Structure 1
Amino acid sequence: MSARSGSRTSGAGSADATPSSRTPSSTTPSSAPIEDHAALGDGRTVALVDRHGTIDWLPLPGLDDAPVFARLLDEQNGGCIELAPVAEHTMTRRYVPDTNVLETRYETEHGVVRVRDALVTGVAGRLPWAELVRRIEGVEGRVVMQWRVAPGIAFGTRSPWIDSGDAERGVIRAGDLTIGIVTGNVGTPDPVDDSPTDAVGARFRTSPGSVHVLGLSATDDEPLHQPDPLRAGEAIDRTIAAWRTWSKEFGYDGPWRDAVQRSALALKLLIHSPSGAIAAAATTSLPERDAGDKNWDYRFAWVRDLAYTVGALVQFGLREETHAALSWLLRSIKASAPDLHIFYRLDGRVDGEVTEHEDTAGWNGIGPVVTGNPAGAQLQLGVYGDLFGIVRSYIAEAEGNVLDVATGELLADIADRVCDRWRSRDSGMWELPETRHYVSSKMGCWQALDAAIDLAARGQIIDRRDRWEPERERIRSWIDENGWDERRGAYTMWPGSSELDVSVLLHAPSGFDRGERMSRTIDAIDAELGAGGGRLWRYTGMREEEHLFVACGFWATAALACVGRVPEARERMDSLVGDANDVGLLAEMVTVDGAFRGNFPQALSHLALIDAAIKIRDLG
């Protein structure tokens, strides 16, 4: 997260790990607010739609590919797909219940139109190509609609074009990417002159009961299938049915059910179905502070996020996703053994090389825009706790799950590695440039050995408890002696420091401490890092540097429940769920005024909401 989320204000930072600052200029066009967006997904990529009906973020064909529709980060040259009434109008929107299909209702003085947007699925599940469909239905009166498909330059890496032969077929090419435009009863596409690349658009008029289809299909370095417009329109209904079938498997019965269900649906958007990996977010380079510098690519799979996702989904009875995620992670670890990395590419490879796109302005001109993330080279000891937390959830929370022999041997070897390495300095959960003995990292090592001991007792991994149990107690003794500051009344960030770190609160749910010390730590953190309404900055010093970290508020809520302060947890939860936008999605951060910052939608935020709700339900 800090190379995900930035560097500390104190200490010597790494020039290689921190992009150069770039602040908005007076001539930079304003970008759509992050909170104005809804998300669509098909298990391979994610599109973002703003409140004006513009798709201004869509990597194709996969989430971690170059985004040829990226006006969100490049207002002038990024590209977009526009669809809206020509006349002045009002708009209301929602997700079709139990789905990730967006429904928008436009009202003008001349009539009413309904638009349903989806990245659609096929009869047998995910399509082998990406297919976006926008179905427009006339409800009342007659409304003139206007659309435009204008691919962008993909951070300066591509220049889309339409040749004379492709114009009739409705095909746009951008390097190896081929995009087919699907049109049905939406006017005759004509070239658009005011776009930075070859683009097309048209106008059409709705009437009561009329149906119109605008969409696109896309492939990379392979043939393109262009769907029939009628079938493309019908695919919306098929996709709604598919989402509702998935939602029926969702097994949460408790408070804040709507928020929990929407969070589960948001997480499903970030699950990369070809591999089982779970992306941390759908975007790159959305800023965490308005001065720049803290802009990173989150289209990778963090072990921590995957751990929390498996822990949540397994409790919902969602077997396929949990199995696929764990299997993907174990394959990735084996492929890059012996080291356990903090994140992996969605295909399991280890590659966080950063490219800075200097000529791309960034959201509201706040740069830099980057692809890649430099944190992969760091040592983070807490990741061991995350790994073993995944496996323990997989085994303990669901019947019928059994580890194979090779995995049992691998995990035993990793537990031995924890015994050897827990005394090392690391970069901590926040991926900081200063290596220290971060207290939350030591708690993660304790969690790893505690879970390994449990797995060995269950006969799931090779039994080396005679080594792990004494080392687990040494870690606890170290934290008791070095991580607790009686004067502060809290676990501190590192020995000898008076600084506070919200990540230690994760170890109330992990089982490390559910007693007085953890309870007092919550109070100390609230007093120093709180901004009211349950919101928190991540750690000491961040109040002056960045915005409020959404997940931290939910972590404190779950910790309150774990230490027995359930009524306070309920009150806090009631406030925090209000930080979602109008369609129930959460970003990484919010300003004190509630505006979104950071990459979006953010898996960690939705996971923290789910975990807090479950803890309150189970412990209340």
Structure 2
Amino acid sequence: MKNTNILVTEFDVNGSKVILTDFMPCSSSRDAWAAPPEIHRMLNCVEGHAKFLIDLNPRFDYGRVEPEVKLDGANAVFKGPRDEMVLASTLRLKRTKSGKVRQEFEMWSGDREEFVLSYGEAYPRQVEAYNSTEQLRRTELFWRSWVKRLKYHGRWRSEVIRSALTLKLLVYGPTGAIVAAPTTSLPESYVRDGNWDYRYSWIRDSAHSLWAFHLLGDTSEAARYLRWLIETDPALDLNLRLMYNIQGQPVVEEQKLSHLEGYRGRRPVRVGNAAAHQFQMDAYGYLLDALFFSTKKEVSVSGEMYYRFVKPLAGFIVDHWQEPGNGIWELRGKKQHYVETKAWCYAGLERAVSIARISGHKRDVSTWKETMKAIKREILSKGWSQRKRAFRMRYGSDDLDSANLMMPLIGFLRPRDPRVVSTVDAITKELAQ
């Protein structure tokens, strides 16, 4: 459905037409965020006659727990040791000997069936109690109202809006936390085992999302995210975690689930992420960048915020920017001096200087500016590959890195600087497909 995250599918077979509407309820009401997660499915037969099949056989805990299944007329309840799920419907449901819910049914012109799958709900309700029609109205209003506030009217507007709607789905409503992905272990490549668990809120990835929202005219997400981050981790200064789960807790230890296969049979399936323990200095720059853009719109920098966050974050960069790390690509193994990381240290200090000027806290500006000069000198000398005529991925290597395309965007060099132009050309030639 245009300008929403409501999925409408039309089935047109042998003169019969059925419209399927799927959505997850959301609205601006605070009560909506307290409700269990639900998927609503509404099936309308517009013309002719059609046959359908319900086939539901869920497993909990990544397939390791087979739930107890109880039928109650038009409802099915699935219970495990720590999980509950309810399927409410307008149909009388049946269960097979193997325990799955399986039901064939027919629809004629004018017929309508509704289904609600609710997670975390232990006791069934009649499907009418979920009020799918009203929930659909509220959900459509929520999405269309949000899109109406966006200020982008340039080229490819429909594609940009669809991308923005997808990005908005990654925001956890109750807190403002932004996850990098809604599922785990989609393969990065078919030639490597690059199946990772990205269902967490990275500071770096969140900053990119906030930047995108900012460019589209939605500045509210930055304020919500920063409030969540500050409430989650009051010691952001010297113990900055790279990522959190959506409840603001540390990421679980990484493990491989050998009993599962991923998308198109790709393995391994992973839960947790060992990169949570890596050292990535660019995260400090990204966070200061997000703070800077927020101060221009939604968040005022009080003395408390400056001394609790801005000054310590900038001070940490001053003290540690010369240390190696794992970089934006979170490469496992020996720590290296990544050019992208150094550039973001420079950008973070530049944002701290700007925040200090806006808020009237200028005592540390001279130190930060001197460090910026030192970082820039080092990048221009050690980060430049004379052989490739481009900025390298890491010191001592001629490998290229597409992350260095961010340099002009974050203000490290002008877009028309010959070194930027040459780097873009080299990356396009060597890395683009």
TM-score, L = length of structure 2: 0.93
Aligned to 1:401: 299
How far apart are 1:460 and its partner, in Å? Answer: 6.2
| Alpha-carbon distance in 1 for matches of 2:73, 2:258 | 32
Q: Does 1:517 align with 2:419?
A: yes
Aligned to 1:602: none
Structure with the greater alpha carbon radius of gyration: 2
- Give the counterpart letter for 2:118 in structure 1: S
Q: Does 1:117 align with 2:16?
A: no
Q: Does 1:459 align with 2:366?
A: no
Structure 1: unaligned runs, 5 residues or longer: 1-95, 532-620
Given that residues 116 and 236 in structure 1 are in contact (C-alpha distance below 8 angstroms), is that contact kept between their aligned partners in structure 2? no
| Alpha-carbon distance in 2 for matches of 1:123, 1:301 | 22
Given that residues 381 and 426 in structure 1 are in contact (C-alpha distance below 8 angstroms), is that contact kept between their aligned partners in structure 2? yes
Query: 1:205 aligned to 101, 106, 114, which one?
Result: 106
Q: Does 1:104 align with 2:9?
A: yes
Given that residues 183 and 197 in structure 2 are in contact (C-alpha distance below 8 angstroms), is that contact kept between their aligned partners in structure 1? yes
| Alpha-carbon distance in 2 for matches of 1:182, 1:423 | 58
Distance 1:390 1:230, change over 3 A: closer
Given that residues 238 and 316 in structure 2 are in contact (C-alpha distance below 8 angstroms), is that contact kept between their aligned partners in structure 1? no
Query: 2:65 aligned to 158, 178, 196, which one?
Result: 158
| Alpha-carbon distance in 2 for matches of 1:447, 1:207 | 63
For the aligned residues, what is the CA RMSD?
2.1
How far apart are 1:275 and its partner, in Å? Answer: 1.7
CA-to-aligned-CA distance 1:249-272 (integer Å, 9 cap, x gap)? 222111111111111100111101
Aligned to 1:313: 213
Distance 1:528 1:443, change over 3 A: same
| Alpha-carbon distance in 2 for matches of 1:152, 1:280 | 24
Given that residues 180 and 226 in structure 1 are in contact (C-alpha distance below 8 angstroms), is that contact kept between their aligned partners in structure 2? no
How far apart are 1:498 and its partner, in Å? Answer: 1.1
Aligned to 1:349: 249
How far apart are 1:205 and its partner, in Å? Answer: 2.1
| Alpha-carbon distance in 1 for matches of 2:25, 2:379 | 50
Aligned to 2:190: 290
| Alpha-carbon distance in 1 for matches of 2:57, 2:356 | 57
Distance 1:355 1:167, change over 3 A: farther
CA-to-aligned-CA distance 1:378-433 (integer Å, 9 cap, x gap)? 1111112111110111123x2x5302332211210110110010110111111112
| Alpha-carbon distance in 1 for matches of 2:360, 2:103 | 61
| Alpha-carbon distance in 1 for matches of 2:74, 2:41 | 21
Distance 1:314 1:258, change over 3 A: same
How far apart are 1:209 and its partner, in Å? Answer: 2.6
| Alpha-carbon distance in 2 for matches of 1:229, 1:146 | 24
CA-to-aligned-CA distance 1:528-551 (integer Å, 9 cap, x gap)? 1121xxxxxxxxxxxxxxxxxxxx
How far apart are 1:204 and its partner, in Å? Answer: 2.2
Aligned to 1:587: none
Aligned to 2:321: 422
Q: Using the TM superposition, name which of 434-443 and 314-323 deviates more.
A: 314-323
| Alpha-carbon distance in 2 for matches of 1:169, 1:145 | 18
| Alpha-carbon distance in 1 for matches of 2:361, 2:109 | 64
CA-to-aligned-CA distance 1:206-258 (integer Å, 9 cap, x gap)? 222322112222216x6665542672244223321221122222221111111
Distance 1:454 1:487, change over 3 A: same
Q: Does 1:215 align with 2:116?
A: yes
CA-to-aligned-CA distance 1:547-586 (integer Å, 9 cap, x gap)? xxxxxxxxxxxxxxxxxxxxxxxxxxxxxxxxxxxxxxxx
Q: Does 1:303 align with 2:207?
A: no
Query: 2:93 aligned to 180, 189, 205, which one?
Result: 189
| Alpha-carbon distance in 2 for matches of 1:361, 1:430 | 24
Given that residues 116 and 130 in structure 2 are in contact (C-alpha distance below 8 angstroms), is that contact kept between their aligned partners in structure 1? no
Q: Does 1:327 align with 2:327?
A: no
How far apart are 1:110 and its partner, in Å? Answer: 4.6
| Alpha-carbon distance in 2 for matches of 1:314, 1:144 | 47
Aligned to 1:471: 371
1:609-620 equivalence runs, <5 A: none
Aligned to 1:248: 148
Structure 2: unaligned runs, 5 residues or longer: none
1:129-144 equivalence runs, <5 A: 129-144=36-51
How far apart are 1:132 and its partner, in Å? Answer: 1.0
Given that residues 217 and 224 in structure 1 are in contact (C-alpha distance below 8 angstroms), is that contact kept between their aligned partners in structure 2? no
Distance 1:145 1:223, change over 3 A: closer
CA-to-aligned-CA distance 1:80-110 (integer Å, 9 cap, x gap)? xxxxxxxxxxxxxxxx111000000111115
- Give the counterpart letter for 2:16 in structure 1: G
Given that residues 353 and 373 in structure 1 are in contact (C-alpha distance below 8 angstroms), is that contact kept between their aligned partners in structure 2? yes
Q: Using the TM superposition, name which of 255-264 and 358-367 deviates more.
A: 358-367
Identity of aligned residues (%): 29
Q: Does 1:228 align with 2:128?
A: yes
Aligned to 1:278: 178
- Give the counterpart letter for 1:98 in structure 2: N
| Alpha-carbon distance in 2 for matches of 1:167, 1:404 | 58
Given that residues 408 and 462 in structure 1 are in contact (C-alpha distance below 8 angstroms), is that contact kept between their aligned partners in structure 2? no
- Give the counterpart letter for 1:486 in structure 2: Q
How far apart are 1:167 and its partner, in Å? Answer: 6.3
Aligned to 2:35: 128
Given that residues 289 and 348 in structure 2 are in contact (C-alpha distance below 8 angstroms), is that contact kept between their aligned partners in structure 1? yes
Aligned to 1:170: 76
Aligned to 1:537: none
| Alpha-carbon distance in 2 for matches of 1:123, 1:324 | 14
How far apart are 1:292 and its partner, in Å? Answer: 4.7
Aligned to 2:310: 411
Distance 1:457 1:341, change over 3 A: same
- Give the counterpart letter for 1:172 in structure 2: F
TM-score, L = length of structure 1: 0.66
Q: Does 1:441 align with 2:341?
A: yes
- Give the counterpart letter for 2:306 in structure 1: G
Aligned to 1:595: none
CA-to-aligned-CA distance 1:291-324 (integer Å, 9 cap, x gap)? 4521111100011111112222233332432211
Distance 1:489 1:108, change over 3 A: same
